[in-house]
């Protein structure tokens, strides 16, 4: 019998490259199902409802929390983010490997409610490199960059809570490691 499909949580500080690594994994393994979170933040240019996120208002988000429709949720830079529970359960039940890309507090909540989940921490090569990437993005004002750096320090300190650590010094190699950890048949 094949092992049950596994839930893998990828977390790590903003700027570690989670989005690029996930994109590389999905290019190679389109069968991996990536959860689409709900968020109350505004869409950025080029983002589409239902693709990067489901964009909802505060009232709808609060309703989902109250109805226990979210597997986990957290606030980030003044906006709320959460993982809809039902699609995750459905994909796992039908044998599909599931990947969540969420923040540290979210990863902790998943650990508490689904102890079999595999928690993977994506770390930047160094804090200096992370700072360079966050500043270099040029999309955020200096105060937001400072907030992200403060949060990154907190997230990096929690690295030991994770089952696995991947250092993202190269996107394709980091994606190789994540694929190996997810035990996806090639």
Residues within the interface to ligand 5GP (CB under 6 A): 14, 37, 41, 72, 74, 76, 81-83, 101-103, 105-106
Q: Give 26 or 186: the residue with its C-beta nearer to ligand 5GP.
A: 26
Integer Cα distance of 47 and 139 in angstroms = 15
Q: Give 20 or 105: the residue with its C-beta nearer to ligand 5GP.
A: 105
* Cβ at position 76, least distance to ligand 5GP in Å: 4
* Cβ at position 147, least distance to ligand 5GP in Å: 11
Q: 82 to each of 59, 68, 91, 143, how far by Cα in Å?
A: 14, 11, 17, 24
Q: Give 97 or 106: the residue with its C-beta nearer to ligand 5GP.
A: 106
Quick one: CA torsion of 40, 47, 70, 162, rounded to 10 degrees? -110
- Which residue intervals of 6-141 are DSSP H helices? 18-28, 58-66, 85-93, 104-113, 127-136
Residue nearest to ligand 5GP (CB): 106
What does the DSSP 8-state code read for residue 80? E
Q: Give 3 or 97: the residue with its C-beta nearer to ligand 5GP.
A: 97
């Amino acid at each position: 019998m094949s092992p049950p499909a596994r839930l893998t949580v990828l977390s790590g500080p903003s700027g570690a490259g989670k989005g690029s690594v996930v994109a590389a994994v999905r290019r190679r393994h389109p069968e991996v199902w990536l959860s689409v979170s709900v968020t109350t933040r505004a869409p950025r240019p080029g983002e589409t409802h239902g693709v990067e996120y489901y964009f909802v208002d505060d009232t709808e988000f609060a309703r989902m929390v109250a109805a226990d429709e979210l597997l986990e949720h957290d606030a980030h830079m003044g906006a709320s983010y959460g993982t809809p529970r039902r699609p995750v359960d459905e994909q796992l039940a039908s044998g599909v490997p599931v990947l969540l890309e969420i923040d540290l507090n979210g990863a902790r909540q998943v650990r508490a409610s689904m102890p079999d989940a595999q928690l993977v921490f994506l770390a930047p090569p160094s804090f200096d490199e992370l700072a360079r990437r966050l500043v270099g993005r040029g999309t955020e004002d200096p105060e937001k960059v400072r907030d992200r750096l403060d949060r990154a320090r907190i997230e990096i300190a929690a690295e030991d809570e994770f089952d696995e650590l991947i250092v993202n010094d190269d996107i394709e190699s980091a994606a190789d490691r994540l694929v190996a950890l997810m035990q996806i048949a090639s």
